[in-house]
Amino acid sequence: MDALTRRQLLALCRDFYAVQAEGFDASRGHEPWPGWHRLAQSLPRARGSAEAPLRVLDVGCGNARLATCLARELAEGAEALDYVGVDASPALLRAARARLAPGLARRCRLVELDFLTDAVDGGRPGDALPPGPFDLVALMGVLHHVPGADWRLALLAACARRLAPGGRLALAVWRFAGRPRFERRRVAWEALGPVLGRTVDPARLEAGDGLLRFGADPERPPRYCHQVDEAEIAGWSSELGLEGVDDYLADGAEGDLNRYRILARPT
């Protein structure tokens, strides 16, 4: 994928969250995704106490619901958690700060960081992420906004480098393609106006790239989404040098809206 197309797709994501953050946050609710409970069972057993807190990096944290979920799952609660959430949306981070319980908020650091855009000019996706080490690096519903298979792998490699020995890389990949609810919200690339002064050239996109409307207002900007295919997901473990821990479907009304992959750095 060429640099201009990548910039355009990232700009679409920025514009979407700048306009839709409040409605998007409200649609997420306060409760954790069902798949997170199983994720919590795969965490390193040597961490997760007040003496040895679970060190977490939540990449694309949104309203930081994962922090609340983990604090509930840990036997010693928030005191057993050392959480860093990063997101490019200041509005979603404000929502996160407003929602975190006071005791949990003291254990959380929320960072406004665009960990993708700077890489267009020669860096690597994820290079700007906090260095770690972390016992858990999570990307929950993030990878569909990362343009290009090479960038998705590079971002995951940056996350893997931040894992402590035995640490977990936890991924939830959205499976929206082919579902009537989301197919009805598709927007044709030809219907999109100029982005960064030029139209997006569909010939320069990857198979699986699409535009989805959010909410009922057709005048609001759509979001760029990529349907990551199963073959790409299956290859990440070997390409990253990580061990597979768990692989399952969860979430949504039918219990299969997200594909979860839990990978571990060897000890």
Judged against a pLDDT cut of 70, whether residue 29 lies above it is answered with no
**pTM of the predicted structure, to 2 decimals:** 0.95
Rounded mean pLDDT, 202-207:
97
Q: What pLDDT is attached to residue 256?
A: 97
pLDDT in tens, 69-96: 999 999 999 999 999 999 999 999 999 9
Judged against a pLDDT cut of 90, whether residue 20 lies above it is answered with no
Q: What pLDDT is attached to residue 119?
A: 84
Judged against a pLDDT cut of 70, whether residue 51 lies above it is answered with yes
Instruction: Find the CATH number of the domain harbouring 181.
Output: 3.40.50.150
Q: What pLDDT is attached to residue 167?
A: 98
Rounded mean pLDDT, 104-126:
91
**Helix segments in 74-210, DSSP class H:** 90-99, 102-105, 149-161, 180-183
Judged against a pLDDT cut of 90, whether residue 47 lies above it is answered with no
- Quick one: tokens of 39? 């994720």
Q: What pLDDT is attached to residue 217?
A: 74
C-alpha span between 264 and 160 (Å, rounded) = 9
Q: What pLDDT is attached to residue 150?
A: 97
Q: What pLDDT is attached to residue 120?
A: 81
Residue 55, domain extent: 3-264
Chain-wide mean pLDDT for the chain? 93
SS3 string, 9-34, reads HHHHHHHHHHHHHHHHHHHHCCCCCC
pLDDT in tens, 244-260: 999 999 999 999 999 99
Residue in this structure with the two tokens 């959430």, named with its chain if needed: 85
Residue 246 DSSP class:
E
Helix/strand number for the chain, H first, E second: 8, 10
Q: What pLDDT is attached to residue 24?
A: 72
Nearest to 65 by CA among 31, 23, 107: 31
Residue 230: what residue type? E
Q: What percent of the chain has pLDDT over 90?
A: 84
Is the Cβ–Cβ distance between 74 and 47 less than 8 Å?
no
Residue 26 pLDDT grade (very low, low, confident, very high; cuts 50, 70, 90): low
Residue 208 pLDDT grade (very low, low, confident, very high; cuts 50, 70, 90): very high
- Number of domains present in the structure of the chain: 1
